[in-house]
Amino acid sequence: MFSYKTVEEVAVEWGITLRHIQNLCREGKIEGAEKRAGAWFIPDNTLNPEKKAKADDKPYSFVGTKKKIFDNAIKLFTQKGYENVSISDISDSVNISQSAVYNHFKSKQQILDTIYGFFRYNYVKYRPGTDVLDSMLKTGSLMDIITNAFIYEYPGSTLDLMTDITKILLQRASTDATASEIFQNMLEVGVSFIEDGLNRAVKIGRLAPFDTHTIAALISSIRLYTFLCWLACPQREVHAKVTEDESNMYKYVTTFMTDLKS
């Protein structure tokens, strides 16, 4: 007999919005999805139909010329804005011909779509898995749980690319429906991920019951505040002050949690 998950649970796992999952269900694209009492339920271990791939596939692991095109396009879009960059600009930055660019990407729009795909994929890739998360929830301090389980980091070069792509998303959110949807999804899924983790902590008896959604929204908002401040003012002294503020705000957040372990 199948076990099922709610669309809210699947949204966290797949890193896409509830609305998008509901649309996939209505279109019959999610195998085995069932509608009960007006809500969709999805069989356990169902794969995202838009991301089915072989287990050894490595999406967006570009090498050679394609990676140079991809990385340089991100830099140019960040610096000048997507509309003000041409294929010629991109080819010049890589020191190749325009035709060589078209050997890897059919158009400038395809480069942008690939950048969006890279962001979607990596936004959820580095989250701790269930086993790791549960271990942190059981043994870590409340501050460790917030800063290591819920507020995870990207490795070096990926962090730089994700930072620049976030700038592109912010530039285009008011005019590009896809950028707007990705940014909205980033906010929604960020809160959902933290809320799910807090609910797991309550379920395993680490924390006493409390308003997990509000605290999850607060933690996510603090991190967003820190990130936006860093984007706007990357100077070291500003970043140090903002980081100190972030730490103090997290300490305040922990006052709303009762640690049953202690």
Span of 50-64, 197-211, 243-257 with lowest mean pLDDT:
50-64
**Residue 52: pLDDT over 70:** no
Q: Are residues 32 and 72 in the same domain?
A: no
Any domain includes 261:
no
Q: Are residues 107 and 143 in the same domain?
A: no
Tens of pLDDT, residues 81-122: 999 999 999 999 999 999 999 999 999 999 999 999 999 888
pLDDT for position 54:
41
Residues pairing with 25 in the sheet: none
Give dist(CA 23, CA 16) in Å, integer: 11
154 and 247 fall within a common domain: yes
pLDDT at 168 over 90: yes
Looking at residue 56, its pLDDT comes to 41
Helices (H) and strands (E) in the chain, counts: 12, 3
Q: Are residues 133 and 182 in the same domain?
A: yes
Does 208 share its domain with 146? yes
Which residue has 């095109």 as its token pair? 69
Give 41's strand partners: 6, 34
Residue located via tokens 């019959």:
28
Q: In Å, what is the CA distance from 204 to each residue of 85, 134, 138, 201, 207?
A: 52, 9, 8, 5, 8
Regarding whether 199 and 99 lie in a shared domain, the answer is: no
Question: Does any domain span residue 218?
Answer: yes
Residue 87, in any domain of the structure: yes
For residue 203, how many C-alpha atoms fall within 13 Å in the half-sphere facing its CB? 7
Reported as half-sphere exposure (CB side, CA atoms, 13 A), residue 207 has a value of 23
The answer to the question of residue 199 being in a domain is yes
Structural domain for 220, as ranges: 127-254
Judgement on whether residues 135 and 212 belong to the same structural domain of the protein: yes
Same domain, residue pair 241 and 195: yes
The number of folded domains in the chain is 3
On whether both 150 and 212 belong to a single domain, the answer is: yes
Model pLDDT, residue 5: 85
Are residue 10 and residue 74 in the same domain, yes or no? Answer: no
**Judgement on whether residues 103 and 212 belong to the same structural domain of the protein:** no
Average pLDDT over residues 30-42: 82
Same structural domain for residues 185 and 87? no
Identify the residue with better confidence: 233 or 205. 205
Asked whether residue 260 is domain-assigned, the answer is no
Matching residue, tokens 């796992």 = 13
Residue from 157, 73, 53, 85 nearest 113 by CA: 73
Which has the closest alpha carbon to 81: 117, 121, 108, 118?
108
| The two structure tokens encoding residue 209 | 């019951």
Q: Is 58 within a domain? A: no
Q: What is the pTM of this model?
A: 0.74
* Stretch 15-32: mean pLDDT: 78
Q: What is the pLDDT of residues 216-230, one digit of tens each?
A: 999 999 988 888 888
Q: What is the CATH number of the domain that holds 74?
A: 1.10.10.60
Domain contains 35 = yes
